[in-house]
Amino acid sequence: MPSPLNNLLILTGAVWLNLAHAHTVGNDHCDEAYFTQEASGVRCSDRHITFSSIGLPAKDHTLMRGITATNQQFPVAHDYQFKIARQPTVATRKIKPDSGPIGVAVNGVPLFDPTTQGPVDRATGLRPNALAAGELDACGGHAGRGDDYHYHTAPLCLIQQLGEVAIEQEKRPIGFAMDGYPIHALGWFDKANAVENELDACRGMVDSTGQYFYNVKTTSDWDILSCFNGEPRGFAKDRFDMRLNKNGKEITGLPLRMSVSSYTDQVVGNDVCRVMQGTLQKEQLLTTDGSVTELRNEEVTIFYCNANCYGNFEEADRRPTFRGRVAYYELETSACPAAVDVSSFNTTFAYFGPAQTYKGKQSTKKKQ
């Protein structure tokens, strides 16, 4: 039996459960009906549930829109192989996640803890919160340093897609944590099912049969879990190719205060052209003649089709005369597909001066 949980009382050898809701979520999720069509090849053994995904949600989910701080990354298809423990092992001590994956949603999109990989605040001892920093879209996710789309909050659009019947009546999980326990969203549609006041420190509880499960916060900031009740295990493998620039170097993305208004992707021949448009709030920009200008509330486009068709912001070489960070817009159009109308993008500030060599700190993101 999981160690101390709210609403669980052991007395004279008997176990008494708080039956205020008497939810029964079950413990056998070995059925592809629990997953959306984005999760493929669902298989079961005595020990694990395995499945594959490309890490992207349903096409009608609005991705990236609403972000106000971006690393200029795009949601790109990956090659995930997930393995979920069917019989979780209760942890001897609760493990708090730190800026990384905590599970996977039933649509095959990874779930992350609320924080980013930014520096730890000395005053609070915490990393930046992705939601508070404006890094998340209307679905609660964004594309990370590996162009990997993932959620940092409860998957808002997925929960709406699953609907009230699946969530509240059928009590289907919205995902699984790295330790194997299911993640639910009870009370999301029907407040009579709310369990917020019954959850333990990890955001979990037991159902009427003694099955442990996590339950996401149903109000802002939509937390998923706070710690692992079970032993977290490596649950995913991923293969992907980083985007490359014209010199064959990886494009890692410069953080920008940019309000994203639209994101599209289009298959053109052998390329997938991804276009993100929005308003750049404020940025010092290096111009071709070597001077520095300041953009404020400028409509900009970031795009990538291939290593010879892209436009994005990079950090310029540092100079003693610069006050703070100076960026430049790198534009390469020598091999753009005819179907992509680059002339319709605002590229008037593109830089064509001497090559810049400065590269910021590389990502510490771990490939799963």
| Tens-place pLDDT, residues 183-201 | 999 999 999 999 999 999 9
How far apart CA 168 and CA 190 sit, in angstroms, is 7
What are the residue boundaries of the structural domains of the chain, listed by start?
8-230, 258-344
> Which pLDDT value is given to residue 126?
82
DSSP H or E stretch at residue 159: helix 156-164
The pLDDT of residue 21: 55
Measured CA distances, 222 to 72, 97, 114, 127, 364 (Å): 25, 16, 9, 18, 26
Q: Give the model's pLDDT for residue 234.
A: 85
pLDDT of residue 23: 85
Predicted local distance difference test score (pLDDT) of residue 266: 94
Residue 315, number of CB atoms within 10 A of its CB: 16
Q: What is the pLDDT of residues 220-258, one digit of tens each?
A: 999 999 999 999 988 888 988 899 999 999 998 899 999
Please, which pLDDT band fits residue 343 given cuts at 50, 70 and 90?
Answer: very high
One-letter amino acid of 330: E
Give yes or no for residue 19 having a pLDDT over 50: no
**Looking at the predicted structure, is the pLDDT value of residue 87 above 90?**
yes
Report the percent of the chain where pLDDT is more than 90: 80
| pLDDT tens sequence across 289-305 | 999 999 999 999 999 99
